[in-house]
Amino acid sequence: MYYKSTRGDKNLITSSLAIIKGIADDGGLYVPVEIPKIDKPIEELKNMTYHELCFYILKKFLTDFNDDELYGCIQRAYDDKFEKDSIIGISECDNMFFLELYHGPTLAFKDMALSLLPHLLKVSIKKNGIDKKIVILTATSGDTGKAALEAFADVEGTNIIVFYPEDGVSFIQKRQMITQNGNNTFVVGIKGNFDDAQGGVKDIFNDKDFNDKLLKNGYMLSSANSINIGRLLPQIVYYVYGYLDLVRKNKITPKDSINIVVPTGNFGNILAAYYAKKMGININKLICASNENNVLYDFFKTGVYDAKRELKLTSSPSMDILISSNLERLLYEISNKDTEVVKMLMQGLNRKKEYVIDSRMNENLSDFYSGYVLEDEVLYSIFEVYKTYEYVIDTHTAVAYSVYKNYVKDTMDDRKTIIASTASPFKFSNSVLEALNVDTKDLDDFKAVECLSKLSNIKVPKRIKELENKPVIHKISCNKKDMKNIIESYLEV
């Protein structure tokens, strides 16, 4: 299996080199030259553990890893830092199955892939004889940053630099990052929004002179964002696992299709579900759920991607994004892998913050349904789920639930549906309590966590409880234009 750029670079590279590089030399994203098919019967797959299924799926994509290397990475990634032996949880509420992806060390779905990425990267570096120190450069809208910091802290041969929007993440998300230990970790607040942070990081990756300077000083950039194919591929596994779990529990037969709902910002999580469908999992609709930053909703409805709008700060901050990087990989697929078309569209996005796809590409979006919800609908959804099922969801999952309910009204499609539950409600306690009609004006953020615990009868996760007394280590902030200077100063180049 080889990997190529979405924008036409003719070089085909191995999976291990794609993981190291993170982004292609022409600025494109790496994609497999073909999506492999699942070639074992469902009846056999359904009895696999998460580790076994992960090995089976990833072996099809990471073909230059030998069996011992790959399985070793998986074993080290999915160990006792996850609070469930099954790695994920699945909670049933009528026809809905909440795929709980937040039982890892940072209480967000990003742990599912970022726990694995450092081990894949370490093997990749050795396999390719790289003698540079790898600098993981990442922008975050809240969850990726902490998950990447947790995963790469004190990993030999790496540094990790995370940029986050100072006023665009929740209190708990920010606290998780700025208290991060590790001699190789560096966290910087951006005076702007996530798109500023992500745009600045992309500019740095594409700055040849800056990268040459780093190379001369013994450093090489890579990414922990889902632009890195090594971050994206492990996310396919949990959708396959979720489908198989429904078969295993006799909720569906192998002939039945399901829907999958994903609260969507940067498009990586729902793209992984799309890849699962392309591999052969029986998925009917991929339901793309947006908050008030509904640029993806408009794209699926009109074929126009228009980022020329004001970014709104919402109660689901990890989705407060206007430039959805991973959509580029979908453009590659729906254009029938026409890299010239993708290149042209991305140039339009860079120049005008807008592009328009043609009717042929539009027709290839039939796998998707899109919807968006307003803030009051998000809060009501948290209330409704709690009162109806005695089940607590966070604000991002509430976006997905609310869009799903609208989908059912629109289509009368009541087949079994997996909803990606992407974060612990304790990461957004104030918003969840507000939705449950609890007065929070006299509660600081940690008291809000305790209040939610008592109300829901759910124990406060240990990792959140520890935050209150952890010292703040990272106190630096900067403007987008100063990001390179900050990196140079940190690396002393």
Residue type for 415, please?
A: R
Q: Decide if 101 is inside a domain.
A: yes
pLDDT confidence of residue 72: 98
pLDDT confidence of residue 145: 93
How far apart CA 66 and CA 54 sit, in angstroms, is 14
CA distances (Å), origin 44, targets 86, 278, 418: 18, 19, 21
Q: Summarize pLDDT for 131-180 with one digit per residue, the tens.
A: 999 999 999 988 899 999 999 999 999 999 999 999 899 999 999 999 99
Per the DSSP assignment, residues forming a β-bridge with 30 are 5
pLDDT confidence of residue 225: 86
Q: Is 171 exposed, middle or buried (0-12, 13-18, 19+ CB in 10 A)?
A: middle
How far apart CA 267 and CA 368 sit, in angstroms, is 12
Pairing of strands 158-165, 89-93: unpaired
Range of the domain at 97: 90-105+232-459
Contacts of 349 (CB under 8 A, 6+ apart): 305, 307, 323, 355
How far apart CA 125 and CA 158 sit, in angstroms, is 11
- Specify the CATH number for the domain of residue 407: 3.40.50.1100
Q: Decide if 427 is inside a domain.
A: yes
- Number of structural domains found in the chain: 1
How many residues are given for the chain? 493
DSSP E strand boundaries for 33-101:
89-93, 96-100
Q: Is 268 exposed, middle or buried (0-12, 13-18, 19+ CB in 10 A)?
A: buried
Q: Decide if 411 is inside a domain.
A: yes
Give the closest residue to 3 by CA, choosing from 27, 29, 37. 29
Question: Are the C-beta atoms of 415 and 284 separated by less than 8 Å?
Answer: yes
Q: Decide if 369 is inside a domain.
A: yes
Q: Give 325-357 as a DSSP string.
A: TTHHHHHHHHTTS-HHHHHHHHHHHHHHSEEE-
Q: Give 151-165 as a DSSP string.
A: HHTT-TTEEEEEEEE
Per the DSSP assignment, residues forming a β-bridge with 417 are 96, 259
Question: Are the C-beta atoms of 36 and 63 separated by less than 8 Å?
Answer: no
Give the closest residue to 49 by CA, choosing from 87, 89, 17, 5. 87
Runs of H (alpha helix) within 256-338? 268-279, 295-302, 327-334
Q: Decide if 452 is inside a domain.
A: yes
Q: What pTM was computed for the model?
A: 0.95
- pLDDT block averages, 10 residues each, the chain of length 493: 96 97 94 98 96 98 98 97 95 98 96 96 95 95 92 94 94 96 97 93 94 96 92 98 98 97 96 98 98 98 97 94 96 98 97 96 97 98 98 98 98 97 96 96 92 95 92 96 97 96
pLDDT confidence of residue 422: 97
Q: Decide if 184 is inside a domain.
A: no
Q: Decide if 322 is inside a domain.
A: yes
Q: Summarize pLDDT for 222-252 with one digit per residue, the tens.
A: 999 889 999 999 999 999 999 999 999 999 9
Q: Decide if 374 is inside a domain.
A: yes
